[in-house]
Amino acid sequence: MAFGDYQLEIYFQGLAGVVPSLPMAFAELEAKAEMALAPSVWSYVAGGAGDERTQRVNREAFDRWGLIPRMFVGATERDLSVEMFGLTLPSPLFMAPIGVIGLCAQDGHGDLATARAAARTGVPMVGSTLTVDPMEDLAAAFGDTAGFFQLYPPTDREVAASLVNRAEAAGFKAIVITLDTWVTGWRPRDLSAANFPQLRGHCLANYVTDPVFRSLLGQDASPSAAVSLFARLFGNPLTWDDLPWLRSLTTLPLLVKGICHPDDARRARDGGVDGIYCSTHGGRQADGGLPALDCLPAVVDAADGLPVLFDSGVRSGADVIKALALGATAVAVGRPYAYGLAIGGADGIVHVLRSLLAEADLIMAVDGYPTVADLTRDTLRRTCTCHHD
């Protein structure tokens, strides 16, 4: 079945008088999620760093590119599958790690709902270090879909090794090291509510279930002691000298997240990583930066054949197509699936993912691009060269 057939399901259900219960447009999805989430969770998920300029330009960067339609191609069948580090994935879409996704579900178990949505769609989930349910429970819910584990490297190397070893044992297919969050960015929305979920004891399941972390706790296994230890361990300001250690932690594919400069991509490649993850953390960590999309082509060139994963600002199937054309191997969505979860649980996530894939597939059909490989840089044109104050 083609991904675009999701629209046929919807239209045929309409013949029986059934219209979609979940939003079809991102703006409506966002508005409904704001009503569904507690204000503190909403501000944490929807907000960004500073005046949220980087968050906005991440989104607006996509508007500056347009895909050129090609006719007489007869793209009756589209192949959206991609291959990276030995995995064949049914599509280039995956779900970015979200450290409070657990709190976005009405039942408070959003990580599990996301894992179940991954199983139902074939869209991989990158499970965060910060989850409500332990990583083993997530991995058990993935079914046949690949899952990746995202590590915020703690300052204690034994805890780091333990978390990675557990991810390997649980069946995760790759380890993603996030480099841009050893300290949290300046987030006025969260500061206004003095809200840092993990310091309130949320999303720490992977720590409190970890044998090395528990041994460091000693006799005092109280929630407050766990939060205190987490706060002391979180945030390792890594340098290039740490890359050999990170590489030594696992035989799984190792990806580094937050790479936006080609020199960093080259050095990471030379240091033995298996993939580069180009991202500005959705504008959540540092304001005043470049859109991630503008950094992507040079990072792809520097990666020299390594898979390049991408996120930041993706809101539609059209955005996915443009990121692929600029060289991304796989493209992650973040806030949209969090919003789908907030209003519809696992069904809401599945709806968002199927909608993104349907739109991407139908654009490839209409515009004459049968495979992901056909989406190259010369299929895009700049729609404007405007500069905003």
Active site positions, annotated? 281
DSSP assignment letter at 388: -
How buried is residue 219: exposed, middle or buried, by Cβ count under 10 Å (0-12/13-18/19+)?
exposed
Structure tokens at 350: 């599945």
- Find out whether 94 and 334 touch, Cβ atoms under 8 Å: no
Helix H or strand E encompassing 332: strand 330-333
Structure tokens at 107: 């039942």
Q: Which residue has the tokens 């939060």?
A: 227
Nearest to 99 by CA among 335, 386, 353, 384: 335
DSSP string, 251-279: SS-EEEE---SHHHHHHHHHTT-SEEEE-
Instruction: List CB contacts of 9: < 8 A, sequence separation 6 or more.
Output: none
Helix H or strand E encompassing 11: helix 6-15
